[in-house]
Amino acid sequence: MDGSKSSVERDLIIRSQRGGRKAFGELIKRHMQRAYYAALGLVGSHDDALDISQEAFARAFRARKSLDPDRPFYPWLYQILRRLSFNHIRDQRSRGRKLQSESAWIVENASDRAGRNDPARLTERGEVRERVRRAIEELSEHEREVIVLKEFEQLRYREIAELLAIPIGTVMSRLYSARRSLAGRLEDLT
């Protein structure tokens, strides 16, 4: 975050802590799309992602007094969001229900039109995309999370490490483990 952006956000956090709903509304506007997409990547359902990201903002509002205005808002919000997402996944699993993800929570990247034999091109085919989706859903929570942050949010290692409060080496290890798992599950494609 650059200086002016962070000072505006600092001001919004302070005003929210004093009860300013409008200021908190501005924080929601700034981060709602990112929060929604992060939840979508983690739970794989539009309705659940909408529900979880809105709930995260509501909880952030209730806990806003504990927020340090000198620290960026999103990483703090993300901690609430990921907890809600993981709890949602665990609830579904403990009830023995398969995660109610939609088959089309991922789509092919329109800007990535490579050659005919390129695997990226293969994802355009529904059946392959379906297999990739299932392979991502079968990853462990932490593996899926780093794949989402790296591939969908396109964060750098340093940013992922800051967001998850883990060392960069751990980010790389989780990515390696996630990609190995994906390679195993998509063996015939790779």
Partner 1 sequence: MSEHDPERGGRTRQLMMGRLDRELTPEESEALDQILENNPAARQEWEQLKLVKTITAGIRLRTPPDEIWEGYMNSVYRRIERGVGWILVSIGAIVLLSYGLWSGVGELLRDTTVPWYLRGAVMSLLAGLAVIVVSVAREKFFMRKRDPYREVER
Is residue 160 within 8 A of residue 149, CB to CB? The reply is yes
In angstroms, give the least distance from the CB of 75 to partner 1. 11
Phi, psi of 109 (to 5 degrees): -80, 110
- Cβ proximity to partner 1, 65 vs 97, nearer residue: 65
Q: Does 106 bind partner 1 (CB under 8 A)?
A: yes
* Contact flags string 38-77 toward partner 1, x per CB under 8 A: --xx----x---x---xx-xxxxxxx--x---------x-
Q: Report d(CA 125, CA 41) in Å as an integer.
A: 20
Q: Does 23 bind partner 1 (CB under 8 A)?
A: no
Per CB under 8 A, contacts with partner 1 among 141-170 are 147, 150-152, 156-157, 165, 169
The tally of CA atoms less than 13 A away on the side-chain side of residue 160 is 26
Q: Does 117 bind partner 1 (CB under 8 A)?
A: no
The tally of CA atoms less than 13 A away on the side-chain side of residue 75 is 16
End-to-end Cα spacing for the chain: 37
Q: Report d(CA 57, CA 62) in Å as an integer.
A: 9
Is residue 178 within 8 A of residue 137, CB to CB? The reply is no
- Cβ proximity to partner 1, 4 vs 190, nearer residue: 190
Contacting residues toward partner 1, per CB under 8 A: 21, 25, 28-29, 32-33, 36-37, 40-41, 46, 50, 54-55, 57-63, 66, 76, 79-80, 83-84, 87, 104-109, 112, 114, 118-123, 129, 132, 147, 150-152, 156-157, 165, 169, 172-173, 175-176, 179-180, 182-183, 186, 189-190
